[in-house]
Amino acid sequence: MLERVYERACICHQLGNAGLIALGLVQADKAPQAVCPGPNIAYFNREYSLEEMIDHIYGRSASLVSKDRPHMFAQEMRIYTNWYKEEVERFDGNSDYGKWLDTAAANLYESMDYCLKIAEEKPYPDENLASIVTAVNAYRPQIEAARAELSMKLVAVA
């Protein structure tokens, strides 16, 4: 049973299959379904009814999570920073992949700059925009260090 729970899924299709089944467009036994809760699920501390969750999503009730929960983009920065550092650590000298990783770092910097602009906007109620700035300040140096390590590895294989 655990293998089925942990099984990787093609979420592009499998997230939408429940809707296709509900509309009668595909049969349930021919359309695997997946759930992708995302990293913010860690900030929910109990089971919620569908009504509670919908009211939370649409802002019709008090927030179900604490006000100090990091912003979604802060969480994404953590995930992508960890991924990038792991990829640089595993880098095996393939110059094409090294160039791709270097471009990925540049894209991460650009994304962080974009997030900093979002952090300057007026927040929605209970939106923790300050956590974006904290995340950028924490993760940009980590990406810079990993990118420097990548540069040294690229020079070593050249």
Would the pLDDT of 81 be above 90?
yes
Dump pLDDT digits (tens) for 90-137: 998 888 899 999 999 999 999 999 999 999 999 988 889 999 999 999
Per residue in 30-67, pLDDT tens? 888 877 777 778 888 889 999 998 998 888 988 888 88
Helix (H) / strand (E) containing 26? none
Handedness of CA 140, 142, 143, 145 (dihedral sign): positive
pLDDT band at 3 (very low <50, low <70, confident <90, very high): low
What is the distance between the alpha carbons of residues 103 and 94, in angstroms, rounded to a whole number? 14
Q: What is the pTM of this model?
A: 0.72
Higher pLDDT, 24 or 15: 24
Separation CA 78–CA 75 (nearest Å): 5
Q: What is the mean pLDDT of residues 73-102?
A: 93
